[in-house]
Amino acid sequence: MDRDRFEAIVAAYGADSRRWPAGEREAALRFVAGDDDLADARALDALLALAPSPPPPSDLLVARVLREAARSRQSNLAPAIALAACMVMGVIVGFGVGLRAPSGEDVDWMLTAAFEAPDSDWIEGEL
């Protein structure tokens, strides 16, 4: 820390050492020999203290922001809900198709009808 750096800190952050960089505060304070060192900066700080304070956020704003947070949570959950719904529907449809599927005996009959030679009685009857 030298005198130039001290002056640069005061020029940037003003006279109140609370606003000075924490890592340089202690060293900078050693350069404060008298009130004249900070007089101009202190005068400007005093003027800035006259600036009106911003009003606090309204209750309506707080409510709007929190309502949007809830809406955002729902929209974030929507894809997961849709996926879960698809999985449930898949299980239901699969189970339903399973109930309507042919039994083992039915399959045997169908295979017989498709690939085996017709009975001789049936052939004679036809002739």
Partner 1 sequence: MSDPDADLVRRVGAGDSGAAETLVRKHLTRIHALAQRMLGDRAEAEDVAQEVFFRAWREAPKWVPGRAKFETWMHRVALNLCYDRLRRRRETTDPDAGIAMPDPAPGADEMWHAQQRSQRVQSALAALPERQRAAIALCHFEEMSQADAAASLNLSVDALESLLARGRRTLRASLADMKETGRGHG
* Footprint of partner 1 (CB under 8 A): 8, 11-14, 18-19, 21-22, 40-41, 43-48, 50-58, 61-62, 64-66, 68-70, 72-73, 76-77
**Residue 5 or 87 with smaller CB distance to partner 1:** 5
**Residue 46 or 93 with smaller CB distance to partner 1:** 46
107 phi, psi to nearest 5 deg: -65, -45
One-letter amino acid of 123: I
The 3-state DSSP class for residue 34 equals coil
Give buried/exposed letters for 77-90 (b at 16+ CB in 10 A, else e): eeeeeeeeeeeeee
Closest CB 114 distance from partner 1, rounded Å:
56
Token pair, residue 56, equals: 């606090």
**Residue 46 or 110 with smaller CB distance to partner 1:** 46
Among residues 36, 37, 20, which one has the least CA distance to residue 28?
20
Taking the CB of residue 9, how many other CB atoms lie within 10 A of it?
A: 21
Closest CB 49 distance from partner 1, rounded Å:
9
**Residue 56 or 125 with smaller CB distance to partner 1:** 56
Closest CB 62 distance from partner 1, rounded Å:
6
